[in-house]
Amino acid sequence: MSFSLAGKTAIVTGGANGVGLAIGRHFVEQGANVMFADMDEEALQREVMSDFEPDGPARIFAGDLRKKLNVKNLLSATMDAFDGIDILVNASRQVMPTDPLSPDDDSVMMLLEQNMLTALKLSQAVARKMIKLSEDREDETVGTIINLSSIAARRTHPDLMAYSISAAASDQMTRSLAVALAPNRVRVNAVAFGSVMSASLKGKLKEHDDYREDILRHTPLQRIASPLEVCEAVQYLACDASDFVTGQIITVDGGRTLIDAVGCPAH
């Protein structure tokens, strides 16, 4: 059983910041070649290329992946740089508040496009490339796709209705793609996580003193996850050790989804 990523090539979207950046960096440390993809070219240059050699194992692609041409260009850039694609990590996610009673609130459609449909279209394109590259390989996994999801798919708050819907759609996309791509030996899984000590959460905790206490109160393990803990879960799904795992949503939340959020048991 091998957890190694040495020699593998990965595309990581949302790679300019947050968990996506942490996953990309972790993969490079584990010996993988990584194409960091994001819309924010300035952040990619600052966060990625400042730490790696221009022709090394880390490369960047800046573009809006909602556009079909940019998806094609991303695959071409990855093939030109590394001559293959073994892993896709759909880590690009957006969160925005929702007014559930407003007829003019477009957040549901916007997040479905950003968090699910864009990942679906990229996954389809990458899977086609993986399958084409594997024509001479038999009886082995030819590629893995890992989607980043959220416990919001199972825990609902009115202000996050759009995000919850997009997370639930992403989970079902994961399961459906896993079944569809299994005959072609492409595995599809997801990691759903709760509170992770990202830069954005650190900022919110500084602004709101009560946030940390609230998170700990609703998390049985009584702490906030480090980005590395999500990275290692993603690594497991990307490596040969999980070769018989597909269509699964691995939850990394310290037990948060196991307890009832309602304080009073008489309900």
Query: Where in the chain are the domains?
Result: 9-196+224-252
pLDDT surpasses 60 at 258: yes
- Give the Å distances, CA to CA, from 245 to 1, 182, 250: 13, 11, 11
Confidence of residue 262 (pLDDT cuts 50, 70, 90): low
Mean pLDDT of the chain, nearest integer: 92
Confidence of residue 73 (pLDDT cuts 50, 70, 90): very high
The three state secondary structure string of the chain is CCCCCCCCEEEEECCCCHHHHHHHHHHHHCCCEEEEEECCHHHHHHHHHCCCCCCCCEEEEECCCCCHHHHHHHHHHHHHHHCCCCEEEECCCCCCCCCCCCCCCCHHHHHHHHHHHHHHHHHHHHHHHHHHHCCCCCCCCCEEEEEEEEHHHCCCCHHHHHHHHHHHHHHHHHHHHHHHHHHHCEEEEEEEECCECCHHHHHHHHHCHHHHHHHHHCCCCCCCECHHHHHHHHHHHHCHHHCCCCCCEEEECCCHHHCCCCCCCCC
pLDDT surpasses 90 at 123: yes
| Phi, psi (degrees; rounded to nearest 5) at 145 | -120, 130
Confidence of residue 261 (pLDDT cuts 50, 70, 90): low
In CATH, the number for domain 9-196+224-252 is 3.40.50.720
Residue 136: closest CA among 179, 177, 185: 185
Q: Which residue has the higher pLDDT, 260 or 199?
A: 199
Q: What is the pLDDT of residue 28?
A: 97
Model confidence, pTM: 0.93
Q: Which residue has the higher pLDDT, 138 or 221?
A: 221
User: Which residue type, as a one-letter code, is found at position 105?
Assistant: D
65, 91 contact by CB (below 8 A): no
Q: Which residue has the higher pLDDT, 104 or 149?
A: 149
Q: In the predicted model, what is the mean pLDDT of residues 242-249?
A: 97
Confidence of residue 260 (pLDDT cuts 50, 70, 90): low
64, 92 contact by CB (below 8 A): no
Q: What is the pLDDT of residue 240?
A: 95
pLDDT surpasses 70 at 139: no
Counting residues of the chain whose pLDDT is more than 90, the rounded percentage is 75
167, 153 contact by CB (below 8 A): yes
Q: What is the pLDDT of residue 97?
A: 82
Q: What is the pLDDT of residues 98-109, one digit of tens each?
A: 888 788 789 999
CA–CA separation, 83 and 9 (whole Å): 9
Q: What is the pLDDT of residue 200?
A: 82
Residue at token pair 């030109």: 80
Q: What is the pLDDT of residues 180-237, one digit of tens each?
A: 999 999 999 999 999 999 888 888 888 888 889 989 998 999 999 999 999 999 999 9
